């Protein structure tokens, strides 16, 4: 049985260990963090970013992933952010479980808000997973650059099925 637990300092190690290259950090956090990610850099990120953050653990307490959401009060959206699963445990359905649990938490926190997320164009595995969870592509796009490399993507919105 998987469970979301409120983010704790021990979950910082996931961000540090699971983002192994500069490209992985850019794909994970855009310009929010730089490679290599350190505890000092992360600091108390949930409070700094007004994020409601969680760790994903199995029944034995093994840390499998992290995710959070940020409430955008102006646009009445709960945006899922910083979703990551331990590379050793990918492909086992944990990402889908994390996303579904975060949707439920966001909707219970602000029932009237739309749930959204951003995804990179060149991440078909994530796009397919988000679509399986009920997200649909929008025409809202974004771009950013990290050390000369351009990244682009689009926003997706959750639609309950």
**23 vs 28, 55, 59, 126, CA distance in Å?**
8, 23, 32, 16
Which of 70, 69, 53 minimizes the C-alpha distance to 14? 53
pLDDT at 136: 98
In a domain, 25, yes or no: yes
Position 55 scores a pLDDT of: 98
pLDDT, mean of residues 10-37 = 95
Q: How far apart are the first and last CA of the chain?
A: 24
* pLDDT range class, residue 149, cuts 50, 70, 90: very high
Gyration radius of the chain over CA positions? 15
Share of the chain above pLDDT 70, in %: 99
Any idea what the CATH number is for the domain that residue 17 is in?
Answer: 3.40.630.30
Has residue 161 got a pLDDT over 80? no
Residue 2 in tokens: 């998987």
Measured distance CA(95)–CA(20) in Å, rounded: 18
Task: Judge whether 31 lies within some domain.
Answer: yes
| Structural domains of the chain, count | 1
Average pLDDT over residues 27-49: 93
CA distance 106 to 14: 22
Bridge partners (DSSP) listed for residue 109: none
Residue 36, preceding bond cis, omega within 30 degrees?
yes
Q: What does the angle CA 93 – CA 51 – CA 153 come to, to the nearest 5 degrees?
A: 60
| 155 occurs within a structural domain | no
Q: What is the mean pLDDT of the chain?
A: 96
pTM over 0.85: yes
pLDDT of residue 119: 98
Predicted local confidence at residue 160, as pLDDT? 87
Taking only the tens place, the pLDDT of each residue in 47-102 is 999 999 999 999 999 999 999 999 999 999 999 999 999 999 999 999 999 999 99
In a domain, 92, yes or no: yes
Q: Which residues lie closer than 8 Å to 20 by C-beta, 6 or more apart? A: 87
pLDDT average, residue stretch 129-154: 97
DSSP 53-91: EEEEE-TT--EEEEEEEEEETTTTEEEEEEEEE-GGGTT
Average pLDDT over every residue of 93-113 = 97
Taking the C-alpha atoms of residue 80 and residue 91, their distance in angstroms, rounded to an integer, is 20
With respect to residue 142, please indicate whether it lies within any of the assigned structural domains.
Answer: no
134 within domain boundaries: no
Over residues 7-19, the mean pLDDT reads: 95
Q: Which domain holds residue 57?
A: 3-117
Q: Would 78 be classed as within a structural domain?
A: yes
pLDDT score at 54: 98
């Amino acid at each position: 049985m998987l469970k979301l637990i409120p983010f704790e300092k021990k979950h910082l190690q996931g961000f540090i260990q699971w983002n192994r290259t500069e490209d992985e950090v850019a794909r994970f956090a855009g310009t929010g963090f730089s490679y290599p990610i350190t505890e000092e850099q992360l600091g108390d990120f949930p409070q700094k970013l007004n994020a409601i953050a969680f760790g994903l653990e199995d029944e034995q307490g093994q840390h499998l992933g992290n995710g959070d959401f940020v409430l955008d009060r102006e646009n009445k959206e709960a945006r899922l952010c910083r979703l990551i699963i331990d590379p050793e445990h990918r492909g086992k359905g944990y990402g889908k479980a994390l996303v579904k649990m975060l949707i439920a938490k966001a909707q219970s926190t602000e029932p009237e808000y739309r749930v959204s997320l951003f995804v990179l164009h060149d991440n078909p595995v994530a796009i397919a997973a988000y679509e399986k969870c009920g997200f649909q592509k929008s025409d809202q796009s974004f771009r950013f650059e990290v050390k000369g490399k351009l990244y682009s993507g689009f926003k997706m919105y959750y639609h309950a099925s």
